[in-house]
Amino acid sequence: MPTRRSQDTDAGDALFETAVEQFDAAADLIGLDDKIRTILRSPKNEIIVSFPVEMDDGTLRMFRGYRVQHSDILGPFKGGLRFSPDVDLGEVKALAMWMTWKTSLANVPFGGAKGGIAFNPREHSDGELQRIVRRFTHALGSNIGPEHDIPAPDIGSNAQAMVWMMDTYLNAGGMGDRQNTRRVVTGKTIETGGSVGRDKATGQGAAFVLAHHFEQINRDLRGTTAAIQGFGNVGEHCARAMARMGVTMTHVADHTGAIMNGHGIDPERLWEHTSRHGGVAGFGDADEIDVEEFFSADVDILVPAAIENQITEERAPNVKASVVVEGANGPTSVRGEEILIDRGIEILPDVLANAGGVTVSYFEWLQNKMSARWRLAQVDDELRRYLWEAADQIEEEKKRLACSRREAAYAVALNRIGTVFAQRGIWP
Ligand code: GLU
């Protein structure tokens, strides 16, 4: 048995096992070549760095950072960086693998990667945060690059962190390259080379995918209700986009608690509250409820937009929504999914529902490469086009293979990757 390292946890290992299990099922379904399956079952590179950072009080603290590069068969490695005390190797490996399927499904010319630093960003001053991000970037060195591996934000990180990464990378590189390598990260602020519409892209994309689904089943989104778990970047923007489509958000939950108001919770007002108080708890215009009540809310749409493993075997039997939109990565456990499907609940899987972020990351990367600036309408139109094309391909594959929507999504993604492996061959 391989020696267990201190940075591995059971939860992380279990998540990677889930990712492999989902992959194996889809590989069986499409009859993926065994050699390609063997390659894709493990990440290509697993980078772990430890680096010292001076705290404001003059003490020194060591931090552990990760970057797992799963596959670059379709293009440079791509994926976010998570800042959370729960970050560990198994979790990052699972998230990196999911990125490979997501970029392939969205048909953007990238591979899959994920990274993170195991720490709580809320416990640090801006100065400390900046030093942590810059030291991590320095420690990664040439493991990232504009045509090699391109990080982006994820839980706990944001546009400012991406700007610090970009600045560190540019300053460490040669003078002549400074201006044309800012696409080494995406999700930057607009002023430093970010794209309009990138901040809302993941939530907006989830709403586009939901609208597509409702169109398919000939149902009107107007007048429906939704429960959203997580009111960070994904949940907040998904709530706003759904509100524009006529959906009323009646339930919201996050790490501070859960709230409900049958008449609707205004996303703008809730955002004002969460940005001041750090979470939904204490929001005046709603009643506090129990988290289990949240998962059994009597709504049409349930959007898990927080962390992994939320719709579990225990919670799935209580879900009343008719459709689950996976804004988060891996929010539904394998058994939870079986129960939802048995109960006739539709799942719009993460690799489709939250692919809006990485799709607009691709637009940002393209704009940087061409020194161009797109308008918001152009970004939104293109995003809708990419996601609806992927959604159409999934529905076709779902019918053809008579399988779940997640398996169909994997089938589309794996067929694309399989074709490229077949044409390129396995070197040497
Ligand atoms: N972290 C996001 C995701 O999980 C975005 C990745 C990116 O833009 O590269 O899809």
Contacts of 184 (CB under 8 A, 6+ apart): 144, 145, 146, 150, 151, 165, 166, 169, 170
Which structure tokens are listed for 404? Answer: 């779940």
- Relative to the CA of 98, which ligand 1 atom is closest? 4
Total number of domains in the chain:
2
CA distance 192 to 187: 10
Residue 192 covered by a domain? no
Residue 102 covered by a domain? yes
For residues 114 and 256, state if they share a domain.
no
Residue 98 covered by a domain? yes
Question: Is 78 an annotated catalytic residue?
Answer: no
For residues 347 and 214, state if they share a domain.
yes
For residues 208 and 348, state if they share a domain.
yes
Contacts of 278 (CB under 8 A, 6+ apart): 122, 256
How far, in whole angstroms, is CA 40 from its chain's centroid? 20
Ligand 1 lining (C-beta closer than 6 Å): 78-80, 152, 154, 186-187, 329, 354, 357-358, 361
| Gap from CA of 314 to ligand 1 centroid (Å) | 29
Helix (H, G, I), strand (E, B) or coil at 152: strand
For residues 214 and 179, state if they share a domain.
no
For residues 127 and 213, state if they share a domain.
no
For residues 270 and 313, state if they share a domain.
yes
| Gap from CA of 361 to ligand 1 centroid (Å) | 8
Residue 305 covered by a domain? yes
The upper half-sphere exposure of residue 53, i.e. CA atoms within 13 Å in the direction of its Cβ, equals 24
CA distance 58 to 283: 38
Contacts of 425 (CB under 8 A, 6+ apart): none
Range of the domain at 79: 43-183
CATH code at 54? 3.40.50.10860
The reported pLDDT for the residue numbered 9 is 80
For residues 212 and 300, state if they share a domain.
yes
- Relative to the CA of 358, which ligand 1 atom is closest? 8
Residue 30 covered by a domain? no
The reported pLDDT for the residue numbered 2 is 46
Residue-wise pLDDT tens for the chain (428 aa)? Answer: 444 555 678 899 999 999 999 999 999 999 999 999 999 999 999 999 999 999 999 999 999 999 999 999 999 999 999 999 999 999 999 999 999 999 999 999 999 999 999 999 999 999 999 999 999 999 999 999 999 999 999 999 999 999 999 999 999 988 888 888 999 999 999 999 999 999 999 999 999 999 999 999 999 999 999 999 999 999 999 999 999 999 999 999 999 999 999 999 999 999 999 999 999 999 999 999 999 999 999 999 999 999 999 999 999 999 999 999 999 999 999 999 999 999 999 999 999 999 999 999 999 999 999 999 999 999 999 999 999 999 999 999 999 999 999 999 999 999 999 999 999 998 88
Q: Is 286:307 a contact under the CB 8 Å cutoff?
A: no
For residues 133 and 229, state if they share a domain.
no
The CA distances from residue 244 to 204, 208, 237, in Å, are 10, 11, 11
CB burial of 401-412 (b: ≥16 within 10 Å; e: otherwise) equals: eebbbbbbbbbb
For residues 50 and 139, state if they share a domain.
yes
Q: Whose CA is nearest to atom 9 of ligand 1?
A: 79
